[in-house]
Amino acid sequence: LIEMDRQHLIHPVSSFQGHAARGVRVLASAKGARVTDAEGRELIDGFAGLWCVNAGYGHESVVEAAAEQMRKLPYATGYFGLGSEAPIKLAAALAERAPGDLNHIYFSLGGSDAVDSTIRFVRYYWHAKGQPGRDQFISVEEGYHGSTSMGAGLTALAGFHEGFGVPYSWQHKISSHYTYRNPLKSDAEIIAASVAELKAKVAAIGPERVAAFYVEPIQGSGGVLVPPKGWIKAMREACRELDILFIADEVITGFGRTGPLFACEEEGIVPDMMTTAKGLTSGYVPMGAVFMSDHVFETIAEGAGAKAVGHGFTYSAHPVSAAVALEVLSLYEGGLLENGRKAGARLMEGLQSLSDHPLVGDVRGRGMLAALELVTDKDKKTRLPASVQPATRLFDRAWDKGLIVRSFAQGIFGYAPPLCCTDDEIDQIVARTKAVLDETLD
Q: Which stretch binds ligand PMP (CB under 6 A): 58-66, 245-253, 298-306, 407-415?
A: 245-253
Residue 227 in contact with ligand PMP, rule: CB under 6 A: no
Q: Which stretch binds ligand PMP (CB under 6 A): 75-83, 84-92, 139-147, 351-359?
A: 139-147
Residue 145 Cβ vs ligand PMP, minimum distance, rounded to whole Å:
5
- Nearest in space to 337 (alpha carbons), one of 227, 254, 250: 254
Residue 137 in contact with ligand PMP, rule: CB under 6 A: no
Can you tell me the distance from the alpha carbon of 398 to that of 436, in angstroms, rounded to the nearest whole number? 6
Number of residues that this document lists for the chain: 442
Residue 216 in contact with ligand PMP, rule: CB under 6 A: yes
Residue 223 in contact with ligand PMP, rule: CB under 6 A: no
Residue 150 in contact with ligand PMP, rule: CB under 6 A: no
Residue 105 Cβ vs ligand PMP, minimum distance, rounded to whole Å:
17
Beta bridge pairs of residue 143: none
Residue 249 in contact with ligand PMP, rule: CB under 6 A: yes
Encoded one letter per residue, x for contact with ligand PMP by CB under 6 A and - for no contact, window 71-110 reads: ---------------------------------------x
Do the strands 360-366 and 369-377 form a parallel or antiparallel pair, or are they unpaired? antiparallel
Which of residues 109 and 359 has its CB atom nearest to ligand PMP in the complex? 109
Residue 251 Cβ vs ligand PMP, minimum distance, rounded to whole Å:
4
Encoded one letter per residue, x for contact with ligand PMP by CB under 6 A and - for no contact, window 375-394 reads: --------------------
Half-sphere exposure (Cβ direction) of 189: Cα atoms closer than 13 Å: 7
- Nearest in space to 107 (alpha carbons), one of 321, 402, 282: 321
Which of residues 216 and 272 has its CB atom nearest to ligand PMP in the complex? 216
Which of residues 167 and 361 has its CB atom nearest to ligand PMP in the complex? 167
Which of residues 128 and 289 has its CB atom nearest to ligand PMP in the complex? 289
Q: What 3-state class would DSSP assign to 100?
A: coil
Burial 40-49 (b: 16+ CB within 10 A, else e): eeebbbbbbb
Residue type, 296: V
**Taking the CB of residue 250, how many other CB atoms lie within 10 A of it?**
29
User: Under a CB-based contact definition with an 8 Å cutoff, are residues 423 and 345 in contact?
Assistant: no
CA angle 233, 299, 240 (to 5 degrees): 20
Figure out which of the listed residues 277, 287, 336, 436 binds ligand PMP, where binding follows CB under 6 A.
277
Figure out which of the listed residues 112, 136, 171, 276 binds ligand PMP, where binding follows CB under 6 A.
112
Figure out which of the listed residues 91, 105, 115, 419 binds ligand PMP, where binding follows CB under 6 A.
115
Figure out which of the listed residues 43, 90, 248, 252 binds ligand PMP, where binding follows CB under 6 A.
252
Can you tell me the distance from the alpha carbon of 67 to that of 83, in angstroms, rounded to the nearest whole number? 19
Residue 145 in contact with ligand PMP, rule: CB under 6 A: yes
Figure out which of the listed residues 32, 56, 220, 260 binds ligand PMP, where binding follows CB under 6 A.
220
Angle between helices 423-441 and 391-400 (to 10 degrees): 120
Residue 369 Cβ vs ligand PMP, minimum distance, rounded to whole Å:
11
3-state secondary structure 154-170: HCCCHHHCCCCCCCCCC
| Close Cβ partners of 148 (under 8 Å, ≥ 6 residues apart) | 112, 113, 115, 116
Residues that bind ligand PMP (CB under 6 A): 110-112, 115, 144-146, 216, 220-221, 249, 251-252, 277
